[in-house]
Amino acid sequence: MALRQIVNLPEPILRRKAKPVSKFDKDLQTLIDDMIETMREAPGVGLAAPQINISQQLAVVEYAENEDDEEEDNEEAPSRPKKLFVLINPEITKASEEKVIGVEGCLSIPGLLGEVERHKSVQVKALNRHGIPVKLKTEGWMARIFQHEIDHLNGVLFTDRATEVWVPKPDEVVDLD
């Protein structure tokens, strides 16, 4: 495995729709492993292939499902195991009518945060790393991460959807993709 360089705006690949993955070979498996390592090292909760200058419909996400801020503040609460998702050629097949506003950041746009309205829950169909179809129902923060990563694969950045963008204060923390 190897760390890949994360590209930043104004890199043109971040604004283009990525190409579908069609070959599930050793090179793809190496790319997936490299993306996981790069995401963890960054550190981030998600990473899309265009963020490492590769035009492929591929994203990785790692986050503990159903975490909420109240439990994170409680040091006695048990830590939840993180789940790793590999999404190849993902599509949102269903989205809740209800939307929520949340703060987002991005590994490809360092130094900025923004308030973004997203669907509270989404259903996603994709292929896993072995080309097997998967369907995922997500809600809350996990749904936000999936929407953010799928946006990357379509050339859309969180700043395009943000109602407000700002430079964070030194003590302001948000999970980054």
Active site residues: 149
CB distance 105 to 112 below 8 Å: yes
Residues 6+ apart with CB under 8 A from 90: 57, 59, 124, 125, 126, 146, 149, 150, 153
The residues, ordered by sequence, that sit 6+ positions from 76 with a Cβ below 8 Å of its Cβ are: none
Could you write out the DSSP letters of every residue in 134-153?
EEEEEEHHHHHHHHHHHHHH
